[in-house]
Structures are given as C-alpha cells and as structure tokens.
Structure 1
Amino acid sequence: MAKGESKVGAARPPAPGPSDGAESRIPNADVPAGGFVQLLTPDGDHVDSVTAADGTTYSVDFTDEEYRGLYRDMVTVRRLDAEATALQRQGELGIWASLLGQEAAQVGSGRALRTQDMAFPTYREHGVLYCRGIDPIMPFGLFRGVDQGAWDPNEFKVNMYTIVIGAQTLHATGYAMGINMDGKTGTDDGEAVIAYFGDGASSQGDVNEAFIWSAVFNAPMVFFCQNNQYAISEPLERQTRIPLYQRAAGFGFPGVRVDGNDVLASYAVTRHALDRARNGEGPTLVEAYTYRMGAHTTTDDPTRYRIASEVESWKAKDPIARFRAFLGKQTLADEAFFAEVDAQANEVALNLRERVLEMPDPKPLSLFDNVYPNGSPHLDAQRDQMAQYLDSFEGSAH
C-alpha cells in the first residue's frame, strides 16, 4: 500500500445485528462500525487516497484555488442557513429546514455533479442549489409562502423542492429511465441523476420502490442518503438494524458509506457513483454519515429526544472546522483568507435578508393560477366564490 493510502472497511467489526443497536449510538466514535470512506479526519489530516472494501480507490485532484472554493462554499451556505433561521424566528418565513452540520455532504456532492446531470432534492438541499448556481433567494419564496419555488429545473438541472417524504426518488428514477430510453448513457459524457433523501425517508415505500425500478431498468441513478442520525424525532435504530448502505445489496446494486462531514470524500464518492451511472453501470446508494446539529425544522425541539453530550461530540467533527484545519496544515490559506470569506458570507446573507423582506405578498386569487394549463369549470367556480368572499371586505383589492 502506497504512502498516504488507507484501507477502509476491510478490518472493521461486523455490522450490528438485531440486538446490537445502531452504530450512531457508539459513544465518541469517530468511525462507525463497518467503516466509511474518509479522506479528511476530524483533525484536518488528509490522506491521498482511500481504498474501500470493494476495491474502489477514492481520491481527489483539486487545485489550491478549488480547495479554497470548497471552504468558501461551505461557509457561505452555513451563513445563509443561519440567516434563514433568524428570519423565521422573526416571523418573516413560515418555516425553515436547516442544513447545519450537513454542509460537507451537500457541497461535496453538489460540486461532484457535472453540468448535464439532474438533481432531485428534498426540502433541505440549500447547499446543492447554491452549488448549481441557483440564486439563494429562490427557495426563500417557497418558505415565505409567496411562490412554489422560483427556479427553472431545466435551466439549472435541479428539480423543485419536494415536501412529500421520499417522493422525489421515484420522480428521479422515472427521469433516469427516460435518459436511458433517449440513449444518453454509456459514455463519459453521458447523463446521470442524483436523488437526495434522509435516513427517515429510507423507510418510505416510495424510496424502496425507486430502488427496485432503478435496479431492474439499470437506471443511471445515485441515491444520496444524508444519514443525519434522526428523522424528525426518531433515532436511526428506529429505521434500520444494519447500516443503510448495505440495503443496496438486497436490490442488486452497490452501496457505499462515506464520511458525510468530509467534503473531499463526499465529492470523491459521489463523482465515482455518478460516473458509474452515466457509463451505463446502473444505480448506487451513497450513505453520507453525518449529523443534524440543529433542529429538524424550526418547528422542532431536538432537546426533547437527544442529549447535549451527543451534540457536543458531533460538533468536534464539524465539517467546516476540519476543512479549515486542513487548509491551515497544508498552508493553502491564512487568517486573512478566512476573515475575507467570513466577511463576504455576511455580506451575501445581509443582502439576502433585504431581498426577503422586499418580497411582495401575492394576491389571494393568484392561488388559482397555474393549476391547470387550460383552466377548468370547477376551478373557475371556486375562484369566483373566493372573489366574492374577498369583495365582502371593505377596501378589498384582490
């Protein structure tokens, strides 16, 4: 084995059985039982390449500026996320689903996408949207209740946010099957699809049906599960008794677990899975082993179902702190750079706040627009009834 390499998974203990409990409950464990692909330790130490148990070698080849760009991405999306939480607490957003702690999984996988690839998000992939060049204001219209999401999926190759848990995996699988039928796979410049979902969604029938269809039809799919250890209030052991990535074997395609707090490994594993898909080698399940450091959404109180010491142990693996340590150890950045990134992120966040507050309230009757392409008599009757109701208020302007 060459210097700087490590072997992951080959000498790990067996996966926990039905009576063992989930690996996420192992106190202060940096590596879960069964191992994962990791290129960057929590202390910021880097290895050149990692060979997984199946023989696949993962590595990255970035320029110094690209390394710095990944740090800038993560800091910016975290700062925007914090601003969104503050806006919700001040009554300016109806709800917000924070990505705090999951920046490396989202930025790493988002930057691994090629221009032609299509992404199907849940409602938390703000970092993926940012990496695809979508104006950060666009998802805020949805959470403020002024639109249904404002970006063009065809332009940015990102589908709209999906609130129904797991439904986007079926949407993505159908899209990927269409790519196959159009003959857009089998080469290095082929197309691939990635679907994001959480550990809780892995228990949904939609997700398992998507696994079946994608496997049977050899769809160019990457199922990217951000295992942040909790569905809204249920720990991982309520979802599974084996590591989630091992489920893929039962459906007939590969599964791999990656350190979701390691942006380099998240990039390397996702890029490899996408390239497999675009070359006609079928689907892959990626389990990004990470942690939701905040609440499920701003309506949730995580102190009711998890202990403070667990949160603190995961904060020691913070994806941004470890990448900052890496940049320092490799002399790729100095304090002036870090201060500049923080200042620029603050500027972007404050600009976003101003734009959110300036969003006009939609007219009530616009609720009926864009429901059917050619309208319908039933919908028209409802609209007229609503208009009459609004007219009953003095000074109404609908």
Structure 2
Amino acid sequence: MKRCLLDQFSQSAGKMKSILVAFSLFVAGCLAVRYDGYETIRIEPQNHEQRTWLQILELSLKDKIDVWQSSALEGHPMDVMVAPRFQAELKEILDVQQVPYHVMIKDVQSLVDTQTKDVGTSNDFDYTQYHTYDEIQQWVVDFSAQYPSIVSMYKLTTSFEGRDVHGIKLTGTGGTQPKKAIWWQGGIHAREWISPATVMWICKSMAEDYGVDPTVTAVMDAFDFYIIPSLNADGYEYTWSNDRLWRKTRSKTSGFCVGTDPNRNYAYEWGGMRGCQYFPCSETYRGPTANSENIIKGSTEFLMNLKQSGHDFVSFIDFHSYSQLFLYPWSYSARASLPADSTDHGVAATKFSDGLKAVYGTEYTVGPSARTLYAASGCSVDWGYATLGAKYSYVVELRDTGRYGFLLPANQIEPSGIETYAAVKAYLGHMLEEYYP
C-alpha cells in the first residue's frame, strides 16, 4: 500500500511535470511564476527509520516538490513546498507512513505579495525594504560616494547574462599597511533576499559607527573588508521578474534546464556525491565543471589575485538563509576529520551567536557544517578555508527557522540587521584580539 501510493504520486506528478515543462518553454519570459495555493509543509521524522524513508522520498520526488530544508540529520525537520494538485497525495503518503507533519505556510503567494508591494515608493534607499538588483548596484555607487574616505567600490566580475557585479571595500583611515583582509558575500542563492538586505545593513552600520564606536573603529583600522552584497546577479534579478523562489544561476545547461547551484560550484571538493546533483534540472546541480559559473570563477579569481599580491585573508563569511546557523568547515563530509583550527572556529562562532542572542534572544546553532546541517560538496565555506586560506571561514544561515523560510517579511529586515550587526561586532572583537593583541 505504501509503495503503491508513492508510485501513484510519482507517476501523476511526472506526467504533470512534462506538461508543465512544455508549457513553460512556450511561455518562457512572458509570465511570472505564481504560487497561489502552494503550501510549505514541515515533516518531522521521529526515528532513524522514518528519516531514511524521507531521504528516499526526497530523491524519488525531487522534481515534484521543492525541498526548502533537508532532513539529513537527527532532530532536523524537512521543509517542502508542494503545489495544490499534489498536497492531498503527499499528506496521505505521510499519514500511511505515520510521519508527523504540519502546514507552515498555507499560501506561499500571499507571502510573495507582501514582500514586494511597498517597493519603490521613495527616492531614498530604504534599508527596511527589499530592493531589486539594479537598486542594490546603485546603492554600491551611492554608498561609496557617501563615505569616500572609508568606502570604495570595485567591479568583481560579470554574470552569465552580462550584469556587472560590484562590491565595496570598507576600511578605516588609521592603522598600518598592509592590513589583513576579510571577505563577506551575500545573495549567492537568489531567493534568499534577507541575505543582501542584512549585508547592506551591516555595511551601513559600520560606516556610521566608524570614529564613534571604539570596536568598529579599531577593526576597520585593522582590517580591509571586501564585501559583495548580491553575488548571484542573474538569479536575483530573475526572482524579481519571473520566479520569486528561483535558487540557482541563469546559465544555460543541457536541454531545457537552466542554472547551476553556485554554492556547489567551488573547486574545493567539487563533484562529490553528497548534497549536490549531476542532474542539470536539480536545485543543487553542481555544474558541468568546477568554476563553470561566471560569478564563482570571477570571484575566486579576484580573491586569489588579491592573495597572490600580498593580501592575507583571515575571514570569509557567506551569508544565506534560513535556519539560524553559524557553520564552519567541513561542509563536504560529516565523516572527514575536522580541521586543525576547528576548536578556534567554534570559539569565534560562539562569540558571534552570543552577541546575536543578546539583542532579541534569537537562538543560533553553531557547529561544523556537514555535522550540523548536511553534507554538501563544492561549497564556499570549504573553499574559503582550504584554498583562500582564511582561517575563519563560515556560512551564516540567517532568520528564520521556518515560519516564513525564504519569504521573510520586510518588517524583519531591521531586526535581522541589528542583531547580526551586534553578532559581527562580537566576532570581529575576537578577531582583533587574536591578530592585533
């Protein structure tokens, strides 16, 4: 009975998928994707048997459901978005298997609508609203003009579709040269809008506090910060024009599939079988080769050129959402021995999480990436540590823990920015103590 239900679900979903693919090819670029009536369902396995069964379910239905959060580790739920036509069947399968679940978001489109309805109402840059890619790039220009003594802009690379990707260099006027370097990037996954918004909030706060806050002044005089608010230019633009929940890049792959997961495309441990896919339509498609994506090739070459010219990178942070996590190497394997610096990674990460919690009480989980979340090969956090040589390399999963998921309302940008800025200051204070005692 269980197998029959799963087979029926897969077959009906597969037929509908074929029809939808053909239709989407016909209307590509004409209509934006809508999610009216789509639900996100949190599935909570109670034991190892249920968890193993869910992993099989995830693989079987990978092209029929959108997995927002996997359930690879003990105590970790699985969040999936499901179209109206599949909801009853999926719930019946879960009921038969006696796996607990509940609906977290009843209508995904209603949340999409609330995120964009107030955009573009002012000529001034509003840090409490989400912004288009062009607006973010204009922010880079305006921000560097607003603080010319401590902020400068640079071009990082050009995207697959020809968009310029710009960043800022943030550094104090004091200190001695050469300074140690820090890299922060946001928006590697297109649908994670809170990431660029929070990164820009942190930049604004640091610029405002330079010369006022002793810790901020000291760290800006000690370090050069290279910051990219929105790395996945094409994907992010596509979330505004066509599909709010698009994750990947927009590069052309084989057949009708589009895009690569840029956070499976880094050269370090690229192509492993954990947490990434070789199927081009998959959300976690690793790409045809390492560094196949313009934004990954361009950003890693930029960083390695800086390193070869004498810049000593000591920190690398990739801001994501969601789950409220602060993760460090390794990502590619839960079985690999942890790096020699792992104890230090944990100490600095705890400073971050404690600083964040002190503001609103928001809880973050700290730990090695693959052992805390799930294993994934070809990721930024491993490349930043192993190849760039940044001792403190992390991935941050921002708010929330699933109530809104990737569709965090704009009214949470400010609290996310405030608490993450407090966390960053605590973390940077630790860095200051280690490198400039």
Range of TM-score over shorter length: under 0.3
TM-score of the pair, normalised by structure 2: 0.24
Higher RCO (CA 8 Å, separation ≥ 6 residues):
1
TM-score of the pair, normalised by structure 1: 0.26
